[in-house]
Amino acid sequence: MAQIPNLDNAPVNLSSIRDQSQKELITILKSIRGKKCLVVDPKLGGSLSLIVQTSLLKEHGVELRHLTAEPIQTECTKVVYLVRTQFDLMKFICSHVHNDVSKGLQREYFVYFVPRRAVACEKILEEEKVHHLMTIGEYPLYVVPLDEDVLSFELDLAFKEYAVDRDTSALWHIAKAIHKLEFSFGLIPNVRAKGKASVRVAEILNRMQAEEPVNMSDVAVPEINTLILLDREVDMVTPMCSQLTYEGLLDEFLHVNNGAVELDASIMGVQQQEGKKMKVPLNSSDKLFKEIRDLNFEVVVQVLRQKATSMKQDYTEISSMTQTVSELKDFVKKLNSLPEMTRHINLAQYLSTFTSKPSFLGRLDMEHTLVEAQSYDICFEYIEEMIHKQEPLVNVLRLLILFSVTNAGLPKKNFDYLRREILHSYGFEHMATLNNLDKAGLLRKQESKSNWLTIKRALQLVVDDTNTANPNDISYVFSGYAPLSIRLVQHAVRSGWRPVEEILKLLPGPHSETKRSGFASSPSYDALTGTIPHMDKVGDGRRSLVLVVFIGGVTFAEISALRYLSAQEGMAYDLVVGTTKVVSGSTLTETFIEKLG
Amino acid sequence: MAAVSVAAEWQLLYNRYYRKPEIYSMQWKNVDLSRNKVACAPFGGPIAVIRDDSKIVQLYAESALRKLRIFNSAGVQIAETVWRNPGGRLVGMAWTDDQILVCITQDGTVYRYNVHAELIEPNVSMGQECFEQSVVECVFWGNGVVCINEANQLFSIPDFKNPSPCKLADPNLEELPLCAAVIDPQYTMSGNVEVLLGVEDHVLLVEEDGVQQLGVGVGPFQKMVVSRNGKLLASFTHDGRLLVMSTDFSKIIFEYPCESALPPEQLAWCGMDSVLLYWDDMLLMVGPYGDPVRYVYDEPIILIPECDGVRILSNTSMEFLQRVPDSTVSIFKIGSTLPAALLYDALDHFDRQSAKADENLRLIRSSLPEAVETCIDAAGHEFDVSRQRTLLRAASYGQAFCSHFQRDRFQEMCKTLRVLNAVRNHDIGIPLSIQQYKLLTPSVLVGRLINAHQHFLALRISEYCGMNQEVVIMHWACTKITASLAIPDAPLLEILLDKLKICKGISFAAVAAHADKSGRRNLAAMLIEHEPRSFKQVPLLLSIGEEDVALTKATESGDCDLVYLVLYHIWQKRPALEFFSMIQVRPLARDLFINYARCYKHEFLKDFFLSTGQLQDVSFLLWKESWELSKNPMASKGSPLHGPRIKLIEKAQSLFAETKEHMFESKAAEEHAKLLRIQHELEVTTKQAIFVDSSISDTIRTCIVLGNHRAAMKVKTEFKVSEKRWYWLKVFALATIRDWDALERFSKEKRPPIGYRPFVEACIDADEKAEALKYIPKLADPRERAEAYARIGMAKEAADAASQAKDGELLGRLKLSFAQNAAASSIFDTLRDRLSFQGIS
């Protein structure tokens, strides 16, 4: 099975987007004749693996390398860099060139920026006096489809850059990506945004429409009816909780990267030499995975057991009795799903070694206690002890963020105490990490009373009688906690912001609701009608679409919750998720960790 | 009858009719072609005229200085200028495809003029060798030229869009070739120009990298000309024969012996069917078969080859010699009874209210659509408007009786003719035939019109043909700015905006850039204001020095790249302090600057923070540097205890202390410096470089692991490490070195402040059941006890403890973890029943 997901069943034509990106990359490679060494920024390498097969690159005379500080070892005289516009990467490139020059190597250099050229990066090349040696170009990769219903802008640092460094480049990128989608699928008539970054993206999007309008006459009915933009900042509680869906848990423990996990081959039952790693692709091309990815892990175990039993039964039947040809055919068909069965049974078994640990269960307990926000002291002591035991810093910070967010910050005494304990336990270099978290408002001093309890109650975030096997609410993904972000989406889709305005005011950042049309010169602010007009169906009977964009990342558990919503009866829309990156609490927290050293 | 008179003007060449209508009588006065050098552009383009300095002519009340005059094809003057160029005689003059007049003088200088007789800078030279050995001959094609100099060397400019001369292979000639011709690069195999030189009895084909001998014995040739498609060559031999051959000399198509052995003054292709030869007062048209046609002229003429004929320019008139199109022949040929002719005739009867009209129509009923089509086509070929009208009326009359006819054909033709008639007007003077128009394309025509400053017509045509008007309006606006030096900015802006708004999405930035180039910075600023696309607006604002506005606009756009663009610009131009104060008030610009500088301009960033009083940020930078120092071996010179690293941290600490809000950071820096000192000391005393840059907790653990309890204690007191943390650290450290006795002693030192849980956990983690059992009973909470027992697999004890805690949920969970163990599992069940809790899972 390929890591590149099959997009045939996507609610909008996502394959065309991917094909376009593929074509653009090949055009770049073709424009440079002969053999070349393609040096890819490692982060981009992951995104590219969702767009082109490596074999296709090889067909175009490419020798593939990852960009690191180490000089490039290659026979090729043409070196092509494919990089995001990050300053540190520029330094690598400069050092490579300097190294070649000092060795008297004559090479042709090409630098392709993703998604576009950046003045600041070129400035560095100029200052290092290598700019004139380079041919500079751009590769406009703004969006990567991760699956039938998930688009990623591949901006894993977006949240940190925006919240800490106040660098808004990512917002422009997101707006541009959405605007590009609009060129394919029509101008999105309804835009709802919550959070400072989201409102800004909506603004930039409108500016872009004014600067380079999407021609309405090209697309009869816009395929995407509504765009919902949400800041991660609005809901920092959800990502910090441990995800309990199958896919979410896989991400928590094994780290899903670009639609695949990498683990020891022995775990997957493959007999190979010790320590050999293998990649297991995870996307909806795998029928069984599509069925179970969004379920609560408890249920997954049951489902797998059931399937295994029924298969075993079939097998006994087949060996004991004579069968008709068609029955045999059915059986063989079932056998086809055997590899998928084994794959997921292996994975689930491996996962349960983590989930059955008392430390994990204790942690889940603590997360619930934190979300309930009723027992301050127990939480405080638990976190204090974690620090004393020098548990991995990320785990500590995840709970601390949860603690600080639900309490609107910590009282100064506790705040300073815990920070000091962290510095003492993990080293003073983490001053930068603490500073980052403070700037982003994730771990801060209490300045006002927390309104978390009000929010929790009003949005019914904690649901007591959650049935994970036959869920009747999105709270199943966290076994009792309904993700705040998805609650907001639920409201936004159903009736717009208006009915929840009071609650929105309690959450960070402004909100906006805009109606746009291709004809009016300026979009009018629509405060009166919050409801979505009755244009629910696109011409050919398909459901129309809502694009939900998370600025700062989304977790698999939230995506599962959205899929659950989308599958509900009475839901008029298909939901497609856009995100700066699929994150887990840990990967999100890690972006804030910065050592001074 | 009208039809008869039409055909009476035709001449028959073998079986083909030719006609030569006058399209203009020239509007100019006192232009004598024989006294002048004349260059006429094809496609009805302009005519450049300058007194020929290679001839001796009499001056009539005119200046001795020569004037270069440019006329349209109707002889209306467009522009003139005095020729003051040095460089000797003017050797070659011709129009390029882009309607640029190229003049080449003896010394090899290439002067280029636009249609307004304005010199286009810079002048180009054909090179040193042409400068020293004068140019004697120039042969032009579409967009290029080949020059021959006195040394018989060949030089070429292959494309005037990028005028760089190159030298062709040297043919090594003793004397000047008899004649020369070129084959347009687009028709050659190599894609480079090929020059044909008539030498002795053969032809030399010269390319960039080689010379080839062709057609030995066929010549000598006095004159040669290549057909439009580059396939055929017409040549005039020394013995008075006209030879038409393929350009590769593989075969002779036909040969015609002329009465004179004197070479003609001009030789030209008329379309692809016949060749024209012009001597003094006689024009001879020769086709492959039959007798040639003769025309007599009593004034000098110039032949201007077009794709479908030849225009003939004389002092008084402009004629167009062309083969009569088939459709026209079928209607007007004397005695024609073809359907189209009958249809045309029917209209005539209809106009005269004669019943014969109907009779005619009935005759051709079945082929009526074809007849209509022919009439429409014939109309397109006419220059005479009334005849166009009559033909179209005939078509329209016939169309009324056709049930299935593509009506767009008719409309299309009307449209085309309206455009053609408009540009054929004397004032515009572009006598395009319909074939030429199609070859040229409407957009090029519009381009030529705007170059000739006929903006209004260009606009109307592009509107009429449904083309984008942006090009026209943009060009108009720029021209208007150039031409309106006297109009003040505000009213001029009004005038411009009035027109610019016609076209949606037009680039105001481009117009503004032009205004700026024309020295109207203020107007430029006003125009940029209207540009909606910030990525066009911002760079321009910078170029006109509006840095403040540029920064604002860039920030508004949300495009950080633009903000950076402005930042670097200001950074470069302004003194640092001014730059600082400018960005200090703009958060986005400031933050982006900080991000860049943090990565790349550390010292400069420090200056910035100092200038804005952000001392804590300076401290952070210093602190960060302290780590960078530690990686640099050169910096660790001197005593580590007072090394530069600690100094930096202390400096950071004192800066933090300046502000009350940063007490925490200040304290941390202080502790950090202290820690480093202690760690250095420890490294000295233990002679092990394992302490520096580990955390306080790690330092304590390392000390204990090394058995240096005194040092561990010292660190503990020095940093006021809490008892709680101390216990965790020490227990884990002792477990690491598996010193279980020490651990037990430690547990008995005093009652541990956080109970015995650390001891239990450490033992279980180290897989020492027996050790763990020492502490488990001491756990205060029965729940903790139950779980601890469970972890070391003692089901019974775990169950007891759990039941003591009266915790059903716990029991359930424990049961799950003992699921494999049937005996244990039953214990839990009984206990749970006894507790009579509701079933869990």
pTM value surpassing 0.80: no
Chain A contacts in chain B segment 711-770 (CB below 8 A): 719, 721, 724-725, 728-729, 732, 754
Contacts of A127 in chain B (CB under 8 A): 600
3-state SS string for B273-292:
CEEEEEECCEEEEECCCCCC
Residue A446 has pLDDT above 90, yes or no: yes
The pLDDT value recorded for residue B713 is: 93
The answer to whether the Cα torsion of B359, B363, B366, B368 is positive or negative is: negative
Residue A272: pLDDT band (50, 70, 90) is low
Q: How far is B629 from chain A (nearest CA, A)?
A: 9
Q: How far is B690 from chain A (nearest CA, A)?
A: 14
Residue A1 has pLDDT above 70, yes or no: no
Report percent pLDDT > 70 for chain A. Answer: 93
- Say how far apart CA A445 and CA B575 lie, in whole Å: 39
The alpha carbons of chain A give a radius of gyration, in whole angstroms, of 25
DSSP strand pairing (A150-152 vs A573-579): parallel
Q: How far is A52 from chain B (nearest CA, A)?
A: 29
Q: For A298, name the nearest residue in chain B, comparing CA atoms only.
A: B841
Lowest mean pLDDT among B411-420, B451-460, B796-805: B796-805
User: CB of A126 within 8 Å of any CB in chain B?
Assistant: no
Report the pLDDT averaged over residues B468-482. 87
The answer to whether the Cα torsion of B543, B544, B548, B554 is positive or negative is: negative
Residue A273 has pLDDT above 70, yes or no: no
**Which contacts (CB < 8 Å, 24+ apart) does range B754-758 have?**
B754/A385, B754/B723, B754/B724, B754/B727, B754/B728, B755/B779, B755/B780, B757/B784, B758/B727, B758/B728, B758/B731, B758/B732
Using CB atoms, pick whichever of A203, A435, A597 lies closest to residue B627: A597
The pLDDT value recorded for residue A551 is: 96
Distance from first CA to last CA of chain A, Å, rounded?
42
Residue B117 contacts residue B70 (beta carbons within 8 Å): yes
- Say how far apart CA B66 and CA A447 lie, in whole Å: 89
Q: For B623, name the nearest residue in chain A, comparing CA atoms only.
A: A596
Residue A525 has pLDDT above 50, yes or no: no
Name B181's bridge partners: B196
Chain B contacts in chain A segment 161-180 (CB below 8 A): 165-169, 171-172, 175
Name A515's bridge partners: A190, A524
Contacts of A432 in chain B (CB under 8 A): 620, 624
Residue A439 has pLDDT above 50, yes or no: yes
Residue A452 backbone zone (phi > 0: left; psi -120 to 50: alpha; other: beta): alpha
Q: How far is A425 from chain B (nearest CA, A)?
A: 5
Contacts of B787 in chain A (CB under 8 A): 358
The pLDDT value recorded for residue B112 is: 92
Residue B829: pLDDT band (50, 70, 90) is low
Contacts of B564 in chain A (CB under 8 A): 118-120, 123
pLDDT tens digits along B223-241 = 999 998 888 899 998 888 8
Contacts of B817 in chain A (CB under 8 A): 356
Using CB atoms, pick whichever of B588, B630, B729 lies closest to residue A168: B588
Give Cβ neighbours of residue A484 (< 8 Å, ≥ 6 apart): A234, A235, A237, A238, A455, A459, A461
pLDDT tens digits along B561-593 = 999 999 999 999 999 999 999 899 999 999 999
pLDDT tens digits along A180-193 = 999 988 899 999 99
Q: Residue A138: name the closest of A196, A88, A81 by CA.
A: A81
Indicate if ipTM > 0.85.
yes
pLDDT tens digits along A492-514 = 998 889 999 999 999 999 999 99
Residue B691 contacts residue B712 (beta carbons within 8 Å): no
Residue A329 has pLDDT above 80, yes or no: no
Residue A483 has pLDDT above 90, yes or no: yes
Residue A217: pLDDT band (50, 70, 90) is low
Give the tokens for residue B704.
Answer: 């204990």
Q: Which residue has the higher pLDDT, A238 or B366?
A: A238
Chain B contacts in chain A segment 408-467 (CB below 8 A): 416, 419-421, 423-429, 431-432, 435
Report percent pLDDT > 90 for chain B. Answer: 35
Q: How far is B368 from chain A (nearest CA, A)?
A: 40
Residue B827: pLDDT band (50, 70, 90) is low
CB contact under 8 A, A165 and B591: yes
- Say how far apart CA A376 and CA A362 lie, in whole Å: 16
Report the pLDDT averaged over residues B357-365. 86
The pLDDT value recorded for residue A283 is: 87
Residue B85 has pLDDT above 90, yes or no: no
DSSP strand pairing (B210-214 vs A544-551): unpaired
Chain B contacts in chain A segment 343-362 (CB below 8 A): 356, 358, 361
- Say how far apart CA B323 and CA B434 lie, in whole Å: 14
- Say how far apart CA B504 and CA A50 lie, in whole Å: 39
Q: How far is A7 from chain B (nearest CA, A)?
A: 32
Residue A265: pLDDT band (50, 70, 90) is confident
DSSP strand pairing (A78-84 vs A108-114): parallel
- Say how far apart CA A339 and CA A341 lie, in whole Å: 5
Half-sphere exposure of B104 (CA within 13 A, CB side): 32
Name A231's bridge partners: A551
The pLDDT value recorded for residue A524 is: 39
CB contact under 8 A, B557 and A204: yes
Give the tokens for residue A569.
Answer: 């009866």
The pLDDT value recorded for residue A2 is: 63
pLDDT tens digits along B727-737 = 999 999 999 99
Residue A539: pLDDT band (50, 70, 90) is very low
Residue B786 contacts residue B802 (beta carbons within 8 Å): yes
Q: In what order do the strands lie in the sheet with B90-95?
A: B90-95, B101-105, B109-113, B119-125
CB contact under 8 A, A120 and B624: no
Give Cβ neighbours of residue B195 (< 8 Å, ≥ 6 apart): B139, B146, B154, B156, B168, B180, B181, B182, B183, B205, B206, B207
Residue A536 has pLDDT above 70, yes or no: no
- Say how far apart CA B517 and CA B544 lie, in whole Å: 10
User: How many other β-carbons are positioned within 10 Å of the β-carbon of residue B708?
Assistant: 16
CB contact under 8 A, B728 and A388: yes
The pLDDT value recorded for residue A527 is: 36
Amino acid identity of A267? I
Chain B contacts in chain A segment 196-235 (CB below 8 A): 200, 203-204, 207, 210-213
User: Three-state DSSP class for A496?
Assistant: coil
Report the pLDDT averaged over residues B88-116. 91
Report the pLDDT averaged over residues A403-416. 95
Contacts of A416 in chain B (CB under 8 A): 664
CB contact under 8 A, A168 and B623: no
The pLDDT value recorded for residue A597 is: 65
Q: How far is A58 from chain B (nearest CA, A)?
A: 33
Give the tokens for residue B573.
Answer: 């131009």
Residue B358 has pLDDT above 50, yes or no: yes
- Say how far apart CA A51 and CA A40 lie, in whole Å: 14
* Residue linked to tokens 């270069």: B68
The pLDDT value recorded for residue B634 is: 58
Contacts of B645 in chain A (CB under 8 A): none
Name A6's bridge partners: none
Residue B143 contacts residue B97 (beta carbons within 8 Å): yes
Name B183's bridge partners: B194
Lowest mean pLDDT among A269-278, B354-363, B452-461: A269-278
The pLDDT value recorded for residue A528 is: 36
Q: Which residue has the higher pLDDT, B295 or A315?
A: B295
The pLDDT value recorded for residue B832 is: 55
Residue B50: pLDDT band (50, 70, 90) is very high
The pLDDT value recorded for residue A117 is: 92
* Residue linked to tokens 């756009």: B557
Residue B743: pLDDT band (50, 70, 90) is very high
Report percent pLDDT > 70 for chain B. Answer: 95
Residue B816: pLDDT band (50, 70, 90) is low
The pLDDT value recorded for residue B730 is: 94
Residue B52: pLDDT band (50, 70, 90) is confident
CB contact under 8 A, B591 and A204: no
Amino acid identity of B163? P
Contacts of B588 in chain A (CB under 8 A): 166, 168
Chain A contacts in chain B segment 513-542 (CB below 8 A): 532-534
Residue B808 has pLDDT above 80, yes or no: no
Per the prediction, chain B carries an average pLDDT of 87
Per the prediction, chain A carries an average pLDDT of 88
Lowest mean pLDDT among A110-119, A513-522, B208-217: A513-522
Q: Which residue has the higher pLDDT, A56 or A400?
A: A400
Residue B836: pLDDT band (50, 70, 90) is very low
Q: Residue A578: name the closest of A275, A273, A180, A236 by CA.
A: A180
Give Cβ neighbours of residue A326 (< 8 Å, ≥ 6 apart): none
